[in-house]
Amino acid sequence: MTARGQWLTVLGVVAALALALWGATHFLGDELFQVSVGSKAPSFAASTLDLKRDVRPLDQYKGKVVLVNVWATWCPPCRQEMPSMEALYKDFAPRGFKIVAVSVDDPDNTQKVRDFVKQFGITFDVFHERTGKIQDLYQTTGYPENFLVGADGVIRKKAYAQNWNSEANRAIIARLLDDAGAPPAASATIKPTTLTPVDSGLQVEVVPDSVAGARR
């Protein structure tokens, strides 16, 4: 084989490999790039609950410690953990901590989401993702699924329903805020200063890949 023929063969192999990689990434992206602790949190966009339904991207929280909560109004464990999330948020919001709760209710159920927020007195950010895209992006297998994201955009904890106002979870968040250079707390942040209104009995549980949360 001539030198020219060898180069053509090499170029053909490279092109074939590139095409195979593109196909694998396009059709098997979820299987190739697992969303887990240590991976970057996928960006997404969801609608606000007001009548304008403005679309807000996760990127607007760049540089913040964020708890991304994927949930639904019909999900009992979601209802159980929400009070602990609200209590957690009230204590850590002054340090810049954010909670982004993204409802995956059916597209025409935005009013149900609004009613839920009012019923539970939620003050953190709640959105309605009406396309189902976030489930694909975050590879959710049940509800709720939670992703604690550091200021660097990396997922630090992945979990199903639990008591987010527990000392263990508060310690993790306090450390992430310290690492991000957040303003110091006015008081101790490990033990709750805002009590969880309802003791749900939920336990800290890191999500095993083989276990599913509440399914519809």
Give the model confidence (pLDDT) of 3-55 as tens digits: 665 665 656 555 555 454 444 444 444 444 588 899 999 999 898 898 777 88
- For the chain, give me the number of helices (H) and strands (E)? 6, 7
Using CA atoms, how far apart are residues 165 and 81, in angstroms rounded to an integer?
A: 9
Identify the top-confidence range among 53-62, 70-79, 180-189, 206-215: 70-79
Q: What is the pLDDT at residue 34?
A: 81
- The pTM of the full predicted model, rounded to 2 decimals, is 0.77
Distances (CA, A) of 102 to 2, 45, 71, 87, 99: 60, 10, 6, 18, 10
Per-domain residue ranges of the chain: 37-216
Confidence of residue 131 (pLDDT cuts 50, 70, 90): confident
Q: What is the mean pLDDT of the chain?
A: 82
Mean pLDDT of 152-178: 96
Element containing residue 81 per DSSP (H, E): helix 76-92
Q: What is the pLDDT at residue 186?
A: 75
Domain 37-216: give its CATH code.
Answer: 3.40.30.10
